[in-house]
Chains A and B, each alone.
Chain A
Amino acid sequence: MNQKTRRKINWNYFLIAPALIISVSIILVPGIMTIVYSFTDWNGLSPNISFIGLKNFQQLMRDGIFKRAIMNNVIWTVMFITIPVCIGMFSAMLLLNRKKTRNFYQLAFLIPYVLAPSVNAMLWLNIMFSPVSGVIAALRNMGLDISSPLASMKTAIYACAGVDIWHYWSYLTVIYLAALRQTPQDQVEAAMVEGAGSWQLFRFVYLPSIMTTVKMMFIIITIGCFLAFDYIKLLTGGGPAHATEVLGTYAYSLAFGSMKVGKAAAVGLVISFFGLIASSIYTYLTRKENMI
């Protein structure tokens, strides 16, 4: 019996080893190194690294660009947990009863999502925002006094978020549609027999049925919003005058522009902190559900 148990435990270690090795080497070790570097003045290259305590964090607390970056991440998050969620939910409900054409629409909607961010960003920069060849140029030729929303500090962050939402909402449609299709048909039919309208059907049957998925996506979207980087980097680089700076672009600029990798690591920790809060909320919510 003892020998059998030991063999089983050995096999367990063997089976878990690949995942464990990968996790330790590409997640845990860099994670620990990021924490360590955040307390140093390392420039990313020099063998001379000085520990400077909490100086990086203290400087960040006084840094106006850092505060703006956090605010932009918050704006980004608020936009992403509302606009694409609503569009995705609405289109998923529309597709739910289109049994024959549903796959075609899903495929068509998903095209922006499967294209590389660089391709999408170039499309928007050159076809929409360009004053030489884009829609902006066409509207000007028609006599409208218009300039690109990327050029204004007030609108640039919304323009960037708009492009990212344009590429992202269809992904939510697919997720929500898959969840909606799991709703027990007898509940739907019973509600219809009782005379429930479309809104009531959605509010009291479909939405409660997919609530676990909605909550999970809420957390995933929130974590993703604090990791936002690609579309902003490609569309504005964080400008004009840091109007679209988010924590991700600021960390990049500190690490590769100013050669302040220690400070960039501190920004990285702040990003992780927000992700950790979102994950904790999700864990709390799901634990509560499991206990019911």
Chain B
Amino acid sequence: MRKRVSKAVLSIVLAASMVFAAVPAVMADEITTAAGEDYSDREVINLWFWGAEPYAQEAMKALLVDKYNASQDNYQLVVEFRPSVDADMTTALAANQGPDIVYGSGPSFVMPLVEAGKLEPMDAYSEQYGWADKILQPYYESGTVNGTLYSLVNGVSTMGVFYNKKVLADNGWEVPTTIEELEAVMDKALEAGLYASVTGNKGWQPVNENYASAFLTHVAGPATMYKVLTGEESWVNDDVKAAVAKTKEWWDKGYLAGSDYVNLNFSESLALLADEKAPFFIGPSIAFQWAASYFTDDKTENIAFVPFPATEQVPDTTYTLGAACTLSINANVSQEHKDEAAKIIDMMMNAEFMQEMTAAWPGYWGTPLKDLSTVDTSEMSYLSSSFVDVVKSISDAVNQGNFGYYDNVFFPAATQQRIINIDEVWFDTISVDDYVQSIQDEFEVEFEKGLVPPIPKPSGVE
């Protein structure tokens, strides 16, 4: 009898402890999503986002979520940070579910969603908020399908060279301005027992696409790539082959972190750069956001960024146009929610938001605006103001037509996947010729289906 009573008491204690353990978790969630305010009577506007670092999530909550929630009385914005946001989003939208504001990893991600009728046309909102007038034209166009706007790029990204000023100065190496100079410094770094450059695809295989995109821009050239992407020319041409062969040459020489490429992520790569283990980190400008964790104290100003150096084929400063992400509106939500989603997207598409977010989270929110003159960097940290300089420089180059194409913005899904698989060439499982042919095979099918986003015309193309 006593045994039975003690069992019952134990059960009650266990059940109670489970309930009490759950309560603080629920309460904590409410506090983090509502910043201490009780918004339980408000309708929820959802935004799913990738799993950014904790400091970045805090910045987003403070500068977007809290600001929006405080601006009106009917809705509350809830941002969910999901590491597998791309796969989650596709699955949810396929079932006519998903958040009000649709995150995408680039305009090419948007194309199948538009074809399936999952996204709301945004032309009316564009007119209401004046997006066409204030956003850089190539970026605005990349979000259109058959002339109708479906997505906006929230931040620009481009391939370039981060370097450690101290490593270059200590070794008497100059900041490279041409690819030959860059390669010469990397050779010397290898001789000195350093990494030639640090980078890697640990945990995120699509990192490969950064190098493919950069060499397609700077070796194949924007004019060739424009013709290829508009179907005027085949992928199987000497310029594209030369670009792929150049990535292979870099791989073989160990310029891409040597055998550590598959064991390093961007965060670790920047830690190594900060620790003076390499002169360079060649990667996307969004990597500024990870640099903030390692270039601290007396190392803060050791890092700098230059555009990808000049090549024989592309001598002028040219940027590969990439996107941090795209924002769209779910077609399967109520009209009121669509209107609010557009309002929230507009909050993110202005210079003031870019200034505030870049100050707190450098590297991600390079809003592709035509006019960035109002962005004040005087109060910003070194990293934040460096990033703003990069975005302004990209903006100028784009206005002059000096740009190439990032695969995650301009290539359709299956073609992009073949680009990501460029490591097949690096590891000698396929020849350059066969690899380029395999891209052509995928692209041909997707081009015929109309899955290629609009391709902006660079300078030098008639």
Q: Is A253 an interface residue when CB atoms closer than 8 A count as contact?
A: yes
Contacts of A129 in B (CB 8 A): 263
Residues of A within 8 A of B (CB): 43-48, 64, 125, 129-132, 136, 147-148, 150-153, 234, 236-243, 253, 256-260
- The 0/1 profile, CB within 8 Å of A marked 1, for residues 48-84 of chain B is 0000000000000000000000000000000000000
A-B pairs under 8 A by CB, number: 94
A253 touches B417 (CB 8 A): yes
Q: How far is the CA of A26 from the CA of B369 in the complex (A)?
A: 48
Q: Is chain A's interface secondary structure helix, strand, loop, or mixed overall? A: loop
- The 0/1 profile, CB within 8 Å of A marked 1, for residues 113-152 of chain B is 1011110000000000000000000000000000000000
Known contacts A132-B271, A242-B424, A259-B413; A45/B112 CB under 8 A: yes
Contacts of A239 in B (CB 8 A): 201, 205, 262, 423
Task: Place the interface of chain B in its size category.
Answer: 35 or more
B86 touches A148 (CB 8 A): no
Q: How far is the CA of A150 from the CA of B201 in the complex (A)?
A: 12
B268 touches A132 (CB 8 A): yes
Q: How far is the CB of B115 from chain A (nearest CB, A)?
A: 5
Q: How far is the CA of A128 from the CA of B262 in the complex (A)?
A: 14
8 A-B pairs whose Cβ atoms sit less than 8 Å apart in the complex: A45-B94, A45-B118, A151-B262, A240-B423, A242-B421, A242-B429, A243-B427, A256-B90
Residues of B within 8 A of A (CB): 86-87, 90, 93-94, 112-113, 115-118, 201-205, 259-264, 268, 271-272, 413-414, 416-417, 420-421, 423-424, 426-427, 429, 442
Residue of A nearest to B428 (CB): A241
Q: How far is the CA of A28 from the CA of B460 in the complex (A)?
A: 58
B413 touches A132 (CB 8 A): no
Contacts of A45 in B (CB 8 A): 90, 93-94, 112-113, 115-116, 118
A236 touches B414 (CB 8 A): no
Q: How far is the CA of A83 from the CA of B108 in the complex (A)?
A: 45
Contacts of A131 in B (CB 8 A): 260, 263-264
Known contacts A46-B115, A130-B268, A147-B260; A259/B414 CB under 8 A: yes
Q: How far is the CA of A148 from the CA of B268 in the complex (A)?
A: 15
Known contacts A151-B259, A151-B260; A257/B413 CB under 8 A: yes
Contacts of B414 in A (CB 8 A): 258-260
Residue of B nearest to A236 (CB): B262
Contacts of A153 in B (CB 8 A): 427, 429
Instruction: Please list the 3 inter-chain residue pairs (A to B) with the smallest Cβ-Cβ separation, ordered nearest first.
Output: A241-B427, A45-B116, A237-B205
